[in-house]
Amino acid sequence: MILHSAPPTLCSLADGGHKRRPCVTRLCYNLGVAETLTIRLDPADRAVLEATAHERGLGLSAFVRDLAESEARRLRREAIRAEGERVLAHLAEHPEAQAELEEIGTPISETG
């Protein structure tokens, strides 16, 4: 995966004005297809991220990539837990589903 900082770019603002903003460009992979991700940051936010990255011995791009990947993993786990909660709610509302689950038994992976 390639990750690099880009120089500040001229951005259009909602009020019709323009402002130079720093951005981070990242090449990421989606099922083998590379996509570019550009993130525009305020100078103060970029400075905080650069300082933290430097303290950890990372470049800004690597640090931002790590943050994004960690958050994506957290969101996936959260979605899996939410789906499990929906299944449990369904079982609680439908005794016939609970009885069927008890008849099938506990999956081998959960027998400890």
Pairing relationship of beta strands 33-40 and 3-12 according to DSSP bridges = unpaired
8 A C-beta contact, residue 42 and residue 21: yes
Predicted confidence band of residue 104 (pLDDT cuts 50, 70, 90) = confident
Predicted confidence band of residue 3 (pLDDT cuts 50, 70, 90) = very low
Query: What separation in angstroms does the CA of 30 have from each of 16, 27, 34, 62, 77?
Result: 34, 10, 6, 18, 19
Domain residue spans in the chain? 3-103
For the cut 80, the answer to whether the pLDDT of residue 34 exceeds it is no
pLDDT in tens, 38-95: 889 999 999 999 999 999 999 999 899 899 989 999 999 999 999 988 888 888 888 8
For the cut 90, the answer to whether the pLDDT of residue 14 exceeds it is no
Which residues, 6 or more positions from 9, have their beta carbon under 8 angstroms from its beta carbon?
20, 21, 23, 40
How high is the pLDDT of residue 2? 42
